[in-house]
Structure 1
Amino acid sequence: MTTADGAPVRVREMTEGDAGAVAAVRVRGWQVAYEGLMPRAYLDGLSVPEQAAAQRVRLRRRSPAVRDLVAERAGAVVGWACVGPAPAPDATDRPAPEVPGTAPDPVGELFALYVAPELIGMGIGRTLMTASLEHAREAGFAELRLWVVRGNARARRFYARAGFTPDGTEQTDEVGGEPVPELRYRRPVG
């Protein structure tokens, strides 16, 4: 894949050595995407070294069913996505199957998708989304879901273009002492 300016982009598995670059993309992504949606002091306090250390620990402890992907452009990590099995079902998930002895189709979750803010709109996010959906298909997920901050209009448009729709489920997380409402989106994987 190439970006809008013709630079090639390659998606590959994340390694522990990518933790610092992924942390930098994630921190800058939060600071740009959540400006005005989360407390400024919280966003300013995000630390790339702390996030990198957390990424390394997470990579060592993650389930083998979780896949972390990075997008590289000119040898630099410019995006990150993480996809795997959705957490345990809750009351808002599909009802149990009516056929005794069968299980519901597995549901996956896109836990993260970040692109370096200065490269948003270049096609890197679409490339990571395509790779994430391919992993979801390979893993046998019938659908993929994700959570997005309600006020993040850019991300909501991006996910809508990728075929995701809100399912009516909301949750509120506390970030820096303030409530941050999130919406759940879903799409079939097939």
Structure 2
Amino acid sequence: MVRVREMTEADIEAVSGIRVTGWQTAYAGVVPQPYLDAMTVEDDARQRRTWFTPSRGQVLDLVAVDDGAGPVGWASLGRYREEEPGDVSGELRGELYALYVRPDVIGTGVGRDLLQEVHRHAAARRFDSMLLWVLRDNPRARRFYETAGYTADGAARSDLYGEVELTEVRYRRAL
């Protein structure tokens, strides 16, 4: 049985393992392989430790925990990080910064359970909507978010991964 709870410092190594293997699995053939091969759990955990405590209160990290196997999924949310020029709506936007599950539990409902908890916590923070960025060339993730009620809103941005520029598209969901 999987339950979702707030992440603790003791979960950092497991979360880093979920994130690194998640990237290496989900983005194989999309993100340059040398970039993926250079990712390590140790480096990710070291970086995660430096910001974990200072970000408390601003960023909420959740873990899906299988009682027999420890954390099997991780999600991170907070306020939307990018201002939109000319926005006077007064809408309070949240952002799903990340959601990953261990590759061996993809398709079991762990991601869906995590996302439901993200929405519950976002509503408790009084966010009017949630936004997220997803690689344009990641159809599995795009279908996952579309099934959960997110729609692409036309915004796009590009980032460099190694020497390759990849496009991310933004999705939005009202709460």
Note whether the superposition's TM-score is higher than 0.5. yes
- Per-residue CA shift, 1:134-162, capped at 9, x if unaligned? 00000000000000000100000000001
> Could you say which residue in structure 2 is the equivalent of 1:96?
88
2: CA distance, partners of 1:16 / 1:163: 32
SS at match of 2:53: helix
Residue equivalent to 2:35: 42
- TM-score for both structures, normalised by structure 2: 0.96
Aligned twin of 2:160: 174
Matching residue's letter, 2:61 = D
Aligned equivalent of 1:153, options 139, 148, 158: 139
Unmatched tracts of structure 2, length 5 or more? none
Q: Bigger radius of gyration, 1 or 2?
A: 1
Letter in 1 for 2:163: G
2:53 corresponds to 1:60: yes
Equivalent in the alignment of 1:100? none
**Structure 1 unaligned blocks of 5 or more:** 1-7, 98-103
User: Is 2:16 the partner of 1:23?
Assistant: yes
- Residue 98 of structure 2 is matched in structure 1 by 112
CA RMSD of aligned residues (A): 1.1
Q: Taking every aligned residue pair, what percent have the same amino acid on both sides?
A: 44
Give SS of 1:61's match.
Answer: coil
Work out the number of aligned pairs and report it: 174
Deviation at 1:55, TM superposition (A): 1.2
In structure 2, how many angstroms separate the alpha carbons of the residues matched to 1:45 and 1:66?
A: 26
- TM-superposed deviation, 1:95: 2.9
